[in-house]
Amino acid sequence: MQVKMKLVNLGHAQSEETRMKIGNGVRMGWERRREKLKLQETCYFEWQNLIAEASRKGFVGEEEKQWDSYKILDEQLEQEWLESVEQSRKMARPKGSKRAPNSLEQRRKISEAISAKWADPARAYVAFSAENAYRDRVCTALYKYHGTPVGAERKRKRRPSSERQPRTQNPTKKKANDTDNSTGNVTESQKRRTRLRSNMPLFKDPLASSKLEMIKNIRAERAAAENKKTEAIERAK
């Protein structure tokens, strides 16, 4: 193609002899290229055969394989897998848990380890301290949420402003106040707003009594546990 483009770009037509030489050169180049590719393919094919033959024979002391050894091994593995699946289906499955039960020796070791764990006074003290810290956090959170210390009595709930009896005011007096003091209206409205804000009902938790009782029980249990711990320490000394 490159030779053809060069001939097209030339300014004059080539003679018959020049065209023959160019054609012969192109054919010789393609022939050399074809022979080179053929030689490469032949070497590659022979190299593959040598590798396959060496793999089939193996090293010294190894078993010699056949040409279809891969297919034979694949069929053998598939047959073994089918046999294992069939055997697992025929085997009786244990009812309940699939886990094997512990032997008597294992159960004895487990019980001894648990007993040693709880018999250690240091470990028991750490566990007790963690429990007390958790209870303290619970009590502190309840106190922060409700704003009332443990054991304190709550204030009585005020009646909402809607249930109160409205005050009756003399209309003549109201008119006199409106005409006499114009600046007093602003202060009176401000006082009324503050009064309404102060008269708004406070929030009351319906579960306050039960929570208070629970906190009292927790404190009593903690005090009893503290006494037991003190007695245990005294006996250990």
pLDDT digits (tens, 9 = 90+) for 5-41: 766 666 567 788 888 888 899 999 999 999 999 999 9
What is the model's pLDDT at position 115? 81
Question: pLDDT tens for residues 128-144?
Answer: 677 777 888 888 888 77
pLDDT digits (tens, 9 = 90+) for 4-15: 676 666 656 778
pTM (two decimals): 0.23
Residues written for the chain: 237
* pLDDT for the residue 125: 63
DSSP 88-139: HHHSPPPSS-SSPPPPHHHHHHHHHHHHHHHH-HHHHHHHHHHHHHHHHHHH
Contact assessment for residue 135 and residue 222, using Cβ atoms and an 8 Å cutoff: yes
Sites in the chain below the pLDDT cut of 70: 1-4, 6-12, 92-100, 120-128, 147-189, 195-203
The predicted structure's pLDDT at residue 232? 87
